[in-house]
A and B are shown apart, each in its own frame.
Chain A
Amino acid sequence: MATDQSTRPPANEWPLWEVFVRTKAGLDHKHCGSLHAADPKMAIQLARDVYTRRQEGISVWVVRADQIVASDPGDKDMYFDPMEDKVYRHPTFYQLPGAVDHM
């Protein structure tokens, strides 16, 4: 696993923020894009302006892009492979008599 490779921007550029929006109560926040803002308060306001012009959200999160830790896509196969042969994690692995198969 590797941390995000992006470095801090030059001192005169506004930092990059990733934006997450929850469209309605009950759903997760989903990543919808990024923007540049000077500070957290501006980031939230701009996220509202840029990403929710059509009431796409009731809640907005912003996270500084350099704070995001991501898995390395290069290691994707190796990293997620162990899940591939554990079929017994799925309900369909288990054969049950019809009378109780609704389980």
Chain B
Amino acid sequence: MYTQAMDTAGKDSEGRKAVRSTGEMMLEQRFDARIDDGEFIEAKDWMPDHYRRTLVRQISQHAHSEIVGMLPEGNWITRAPTLKRKTILLAKVQDEAGHGLYLYSAAETLGTSRDQMLDALHSGKAKYSSIFNYPTLTWADVGAIGWLVDGAAIMNQVPICRCSYAPYARAMIRICREESFHQRQGFESLLTMMQHGTEAQKAMVQDAVNRWWWPSVMMFGPPDDQSPNSAQSMRWGIKRVSNDELRQKFVDAAVEQAKVLGVTLPDPALKWNEERQHNDFGPIDWDEFWRVIGGNGPCNRERLGARVKAWEEGAWVREAALAHAAKQERREPLAA
């Protein structure tokens, strides 16, 4: 999910093809054995360059996704229908900021810096999850995001709690504990509208579902047979479950949840398959996915613009804080 577009980052594969010394090959063999034994890798352990780079890319893109993910929902904080919904939405958006921070910290243990990661995001070199390039047009979108987008994220994040790279795994455990309220609050919000709302409100919910369903299904990334990076990530215990398997689990869960809500999912091909014991679903429009990843979704420019603006306009605050800290230290030096 957070390695979207990594498969097209051809430059990364050069590390794998470089000539390696015998010493390095031995280190890599020992590393592979540790992974096979289910051992955790910590920050200062030896690791192949490709493992390190894959993780820096994935963890930083995961972090960027959390921070950018604050924007579509932040859009509705001032217009939440009740004080209760407003405080809930504020808490959720605060959590997303916190999740981004846990993940940036985890990525930094691998030798990259916050400024480097943010520079990659702001220049367009690093990606964030495609889903956050869609607009939140109504209040029901907030509920739909909680139910479907957070639902998909949870499905992807639970296996990462067992990622071989321990700082990432620990951050994920923390995140998963906090994430479940995100999905529940969204579902509950939609349920309230469907059970107690006016006809117009019910229609608003259905419309939100119609717009968020397919992008949520796309969150899991391209089909397995079009994800060349997945194999190496699985071999190294970074990725535990394939895109297609996660996507199927998500669809199966959502179908049952949709019945409780009383909404229809906008896929005429959605149908229980008794033989497979799973729901069959219709074809995904991968053109849309690649367009959005490539920068031409509905809100890409708006999202990135908001982040760049926040960074640039906040520069004086960062500088002032450092200047103040330096001044304080001259007055009262910290004990060594």
Interface residues of A (CB under 8 A from B): 5, 9-14, 16, 32-36, 38-40, 42, 49-50, 53-54, 70, 72-74
In the assembled complex, 7 residue pairs joining A and B whose CB atoms fall closer than 8 Å, in A order, are A9-B113, A12-B319, A13-B113, A14-B318, A33-B105, A38-B318, A53-B178
Residue contact A39 to B324, C-beta cutoff 8 Å: yes
Residue contact B178 to A54, C-beta cutoff 8 Å: yes
Report A-chain residues with C-beta under 8 Å of the C-beta of B319. Answer: 12
CB-nearest residue of chain B to A13: B115
Report A-chain residues with C-beta under 8 Å of the C-beta of B98. Answer: 49-50, 53
Ordered nearest first, which 6 A-B pairs have the shortest CB separation? A38-B321, A39-B325, A34-B105, A38-B325, A73-B44, A33-B105
State whether A34 and B94 are in contact (beta carbons under 8 Å apart), knowing that A13-B114, A14-B318, A40-B334 are contacts in the complex: no
Contact of A73 among B45, B91, B101, B321 (CB under 8 A): B45
Interface residues of B (CB under 8 A from A): 42, 44-46, 91, 94-95, 98, 101-102, 105-106, 108-109, 113-115, 170-171, 174, 177-178, 318-319, 321-322, 324-325, 328-329, 334
Residue contact B46 to A36, C-beta cutoff 8 Å: no
Distance in Å: Cβ of B63 to nearest Cβ of chain A? 13
State whether A53 and B45 are in contact (beta carbons under 8 Å apart), knowing that A13-B115, A14-B322, A38-B322 are contacts in the complex: no
Distance in Å: Cβ of A55 to nearest Cβ of chain B? 13
Q: Which of B105, B113, B171, B319 has the most CB of A within 10 A?
A: B105
Report A-chain residues with C-beta under 8 Å of the C-beta of B324. Answer: 38-39
The secondary-structure label for the interface of chain B is: helix
Residue contact A70 to B325, C-beta cutoff 8 Å: no
Residue contact B108 to A34, C-beta cutoff 8 Å: yes
Residue contact A33 to B171, C-beta cutoff 8 Å: yes
Residue contact B101 to A35, C-beta cutoff 8 Å: yes
How many Å lie between the Cα of A89 and that of B98 in the bound state?
Answer: 44
Residue contact B108 to A14, C-beta cutoff 8 Å: no
Residue contact B94 to A53, C-beta cutoff 8 Å: yes
Residue contact A33 to B321, C-beta cutoff 8 Å: no
Residue contact B321 to A42, C-beta cutoff 8 Å: yes
Distance in Å: Cβ of B25 to nearest Cβ of chain A? 18
Report A-chain residues with C-beta under 8 Å of the C-beta of B108. Answer: 16, 34
State whether A12 and B322 are in contact (beta carbons under 8 Å apart), knowing that A33-B171, A54-B178 are contacts in the complex: yes
Report B-chain residues with C-beta under 8 Å of the C-beta of A54. Answer: 177-178
Contact of A74 among B46, B106, B170, B322 (CB under 8 A): B46
How many Å lie between the Cα of A102 and that of B325 in the bound state?
Answer: 58
How many Å lie between the Cα of A18 and that of B65 in the bound state?
Answer: 23
Distance in Å: Cβ of B43 to nearest Cβ of chain A? 9
Distance in Å: Cβ of A2 to nearest Cβ of chain B? 9
CB-nearest residue of chain A to B334: A40
Distance in Å: Cβ of A54 to nearest Cβ of chain B? 7
CB-nearest residue of chain A to B97: A50
Distance in Å: Cβ of B324 to nearest Cβ of chain A? 7
Can you add 6 more A-B contacts, CB < 8 Å, to A34-B108, A42-B325? A13-B114, A32-B174, A35-B101, A39-B325, A49-B98, A50-B102
How many Å lie between the Cα of A74 and that of B174 in the bound state?
Answer: 28
How many Å lie between the Cα of A63 and that of B155 in the bound state?
Answer: 35
